[in-house]
Amino acid sequence: MAGTTETYLIRGAAVLGGEATDLLIRDGIIAALGENLDADDAAVIDAAGLVALPGMVDIHTHLREPGREDAETVETGTRAAAKGGYTAVHAMANSNPVADTAGVVEQVHSLGKAAGWVDVRPVGAVTVGIAGKQLAELGAMADSRARVRVFSDDGNCVSDPVLMRRALEYVKAFDGVVAQHAQEPRLTEGAQMNEGEVSAVLGLAGWPAVAEESIIARDVLLAQHVGSRLHVCHVSTSGSVEIIRWAKERGINVTAEVTPHHLLLTDELVRSYDPVFKVNPPLRTNADVHALRAGLADGTIDVIGTDHAPHPSEHKECEWAQAAMGMTGLETALSVVQETMIETGLMTWADFARVTSTVPAQIGRVADQGRPLAVGEPANVVLVDPAARWTVDPSAMATMGRNSPFKGLELPGKVVATFFHGHPTVLNGELNTPNPGVPAVAH
C-alpha cells in the first residue's frame, strides 16, 4: 500500500534540539533537510521555537481490545498515542481473549491498521492465557501477518524457570524477545503497595523490592545461559538497576524500560489512599526514583515504556483494596520525561529520542520506526514546544481512561504536531485525521 501523497514544509524546527532546520515531507518520507527550503506545493508549518524529534515508539501499551472495550479500544488508545507524540505502540497481550494465538494478534494488528493513527505492533503472550502453565503459539504469532517479535505475559510473571528458559530458547529462532513482568508471586501475595515505611504506617500489605529483583537476577542468568534476548518491563527499584547494570557489564543481552510515573512519583502519595496511585509494580521510594533516573541517564535502562493502563472509572473510584492497578500514560509521557530528565540536566533531546524512539523500535524490531530525521527516511516526526506549560486534565484526554496520576499537575512540553508516515495525525496540538494509506508492515 502506498504512503501519503501529501507535502509539508516544516520551517525552522530544532532537530533533536540543535540548530533550526527546514524539513520537507513528501510522499511519506523526508524529502529534504536544510535552510531556506522551498516547495510550491507544500503546506507550510512554522516551527520556530519547536523541537523536531522522531516519532515516539512505546514498547509497553495496554489497548484493552479485544474484550475490554469498556476500558479502551484500539481506536481510542491510538488516538491518545498520536496526541502524545507516538507513531508506534506495542499492544500488550492481556486482552480478553488473550493475544496468545495468530488469530488474536492479527485481529489487533488489523484494528490498528484500520484506525490509522499509529503503527500497532501486537505483543504475543508467552504462555497460553498468560496462565504460566504452557507456552503459547510463539512461532505461529511470529509467522503471522502481525510478525510478532515481542512476547510478554505482562500483568503476570513467567515465574516458572523452566518455562522461562524454554521461551527464551524458542524466540531465538526468529530474533524475538521475551519481555518479563518481574514479580515473584509468592513474595507479593495480597500486596497493595511498596513494602517500606509508608506501608507499615498505613497497615497495607507490602510489596518488597526483592520480589522484582530476584526474578530479574534469575532471568538475566537464564538469558546468558541460552544466549537469548531478555527485556525487563517497568523496572522500579534501585536494586533492579544494579542487577541490570551488572548483567550488561557481563555482556548479557538484556534491555530494560522505566515508566514515566516511576521517574516522578513515590509511595508517599499512597498516604492519600487515592487508588489512582495504585499500580503494578508499585510506586517506590524517593531513593528508587533517583536511581531510576540515573540508570536511564547512563544507559543501564534503555527505554521509556508508558505501561499505559486505562481502567473504567468504577474500577478506580472505590476503596483502595478493591481498586484495579494501573495508570494512563500515553498523553503525559513526553512531559514527565522532560520534567524529570531534560529540565534536570540529566538528558538532552537527542537522548530523549534514543530512549523514546530509536531503541524501542530496535528492541521491537520495527524497521520503519525510530529512524533518524534524515533524507529518505520515513516521515515519522513529532514537533514539540518545550517552553509550553500545561495542567493535566484527564477529562480532556483522548484515552477513555481517566486514571491519570498526574491530574492537576503543571507539566512542561507540549506536542504541537505528529506526522505518521508523512500525514499529520496531530496539528496545532489537536487531533487531526488518521493516515488513510499506512504502508504495509516492513519486513
Beta-bridged to residue 57, according to DSSP, are 88
The 10 Å Cβ neighbour count of residue 434 is 18
Does 432 belong to an annotated binding site?
A: no
Q: Is the peptide bond before 281 cis (omega within 30 degrees of 0)?
A: yes
| Phi/psi at 176 (5° precision) | -90, 175
The 10 Å Cβ neighbour count of residue 390 is 16
Beta-bridged to residue 151, according to DSSP, are 124, 178
Four-residue CA torsion sign, 28, 31, 34, 37: negative
End-to-end CA distance of the chain: give it in Å, rounded: 14
In sequence order, the 6+-apart residues with CB closer than 8 A to the CB of 9 are: 22, 23, 24, 25, 37, 38, 39, 42, 43, 44, 45
DSSP state of 50: P
Does 22 belong to an annotated binding site?
A: no
**Do the beta carbons of residue 64 and residue 73 sit within 8 Å?**
yes
Does 307 belong to an annotated binding site?
A: yes
Report the residue count for the chain.
443
Does 225 belong to an annotated binding site?
A: no
Task: Please name the residue ranges forming H helices in 235-358.
Answer: 238-249, 260-264, 286-297, 333-337, 349-353
Does 63 belong to an annotated binding site?
A: yes
Does 41 belong to an annotated binding site?
A: no
Does 435 belong to an annotated binding site?
A: no
Residue in 389, 342, 397, 368 with CA at minimum distance from that of residue 16: 342
DSSP 3-state of 344: coil
Does 261 belong to an annotated binding site?
A: no
Does 62 belong to an annotated binding site?
A: yes
How far, in whole angstroms, is CA 385 from its chain's centroid?
A: 21
Residue in 433, 394, 385, 376 with CA at minimum distance from that of residue 413: 385
Question: Position of cell 523496572?
Answer: 235
Question: Does the annotation mark 307 as catalytic?
Answer: yes
Residue in 276, 386, 356 with CA at minimum distance from that of residue 60: 356
Selected catalytic residue, list 267, 307, 351, 368? 307
Residue in 364, 309, 337 with CA at minimum distance from that of residue 176: 364
Q: At what angle do helices 102-115 and 74-83 cross, to 10 degrees?
A: 50
Does 280 belong to an annotated binding site?
A: yes
| Phi/psi at 261 (5° precision) | -70, -30
Residue type, 398: A
Does 194 belong to an annotated binding site?
A: no
Beta-bridged to residue 110, according to DSSP, are none
Query: Based on the number of CB atoms within 10 Å of its own CB, is 59 exposed (0-12), middle (13-18) or buried (19 or more)?
Result: buried
Kindly list the catalytic residues. Answer: 307
- Binding-site members for substrate are 62-64, 94, 280, 311
- Binding-site members are 60, 62-64, 94, 154, 181, 234, 280, 307, 311
- Binding-site members for Zn(2+) are 60, 62, 154, 181, 234, 307
